[in-house]
Structure 1
Amino acid sequence: MLAVNYTSLRENMKSYMDQVTDDYETMIVTRKNNKNVVMMSEEAYNNLMENIHVMGNKANYDWLMESKAQLENGNFASHTLTEVAEDE
C-alpha cells in the first residue's frame, strides 16, 4: 500500500493513477486532520465488493467452502469443451 500527501497527488495525478491501475496498488491520500482517502482501481473495488457480497452471506459462503472442499478432495468432473462455429 502506498501513501502520498494531497499536494503530491495533485501535482502527479496521472502518474499515481497509472500506478494504482497498472500495478494493482492501493494508495492512501493523506490530508489535514486525518481525513485520509483511499484510492484504488475500479477493478480492485469491484473485486472487493464481490468478495464482501459472497462472504457476507452465510449461504453463499457455506456453498463456496463446500465447493472448495470437494475440489480439494478430488470430487470433481472435467469435460472436454468443443468449439462451435459462429454460423451455428
Structure 2
Amino acid sequence: MLAVNYTNLRDNMKTYMDKVTDDYETMIVLRKNNKNVVMISEESYNNLMENIYVMGNKENYDWLMKGKAQLENGQYSVHELSEVEDNE
C-alpha cells in the first residue's frame, strides 16, 4: 500500500494513477486533520462491491462455503473440454 501527501499526488498525478491502475496498488492520500482518502482502481472497486454483494447474501455465501468444503474434502471431478468445429 502506498501513502502520499496531497501535494505530491497533485504534482505526480499521472504516475500515481498509473501505479493504482496498472500495478493494482492501493494508495492512501494523506490530508490534514487525518481526513485521509483511499484511492483504488475502478476495477478493484467493482470487484470489492461484487464481493460485498455476494458475501452479503446468505444463500450465496452458504453455496460458496459448501463448494469450498467439498473441494477441501476431495469431492470434485475433472472434466476435459471438447473442441467444437466452427461449422457445427
Task: Give your verdict on TM over 0.5.
Answer: yes
Number of equivalenced pairs: 88
Measured after TM superposition, the shift of residue 46 of structure 1 is 1.5
Using the alignment, how far apart are the partners of 1:18 and 1:87 within structure 2?
43
Using the alignment, how far apart are the partners of 1:7 and 1:83 within structure 2?
55
- Matching residue of 2:35: 35
Using the alignment, how far apart are the partners of 1:23 and 1:4 within structure 2?
16
**Percentage identity across paired residues of the two chains:** 77
Q: Which segments of 5 or more consecutive residues in structure 1 lack a partner in the other structure?
A: none
TM-score calculated relative to the size of structure 1: 0.88
* Off by >4 Å, runs of 4+ in structure 1: none
Aligned-pair Cα RMSD in Å: 1.3
Q: Which amino acid is the alignment partner of residue 4 of structure 1?
A: V
TM-score calculated relative to the size of structure 2: 0.88
Tell me, what secondary structure is at the counterpart of 1:47? helix
Q: Which segments of 5 or more consecutive residues in structure 2 lack a partner in the other structure?
A: none
Measured after TM superposition, the shift of residue 39 of structure 1 is 0.5
- Matching residue of 2:85: 85
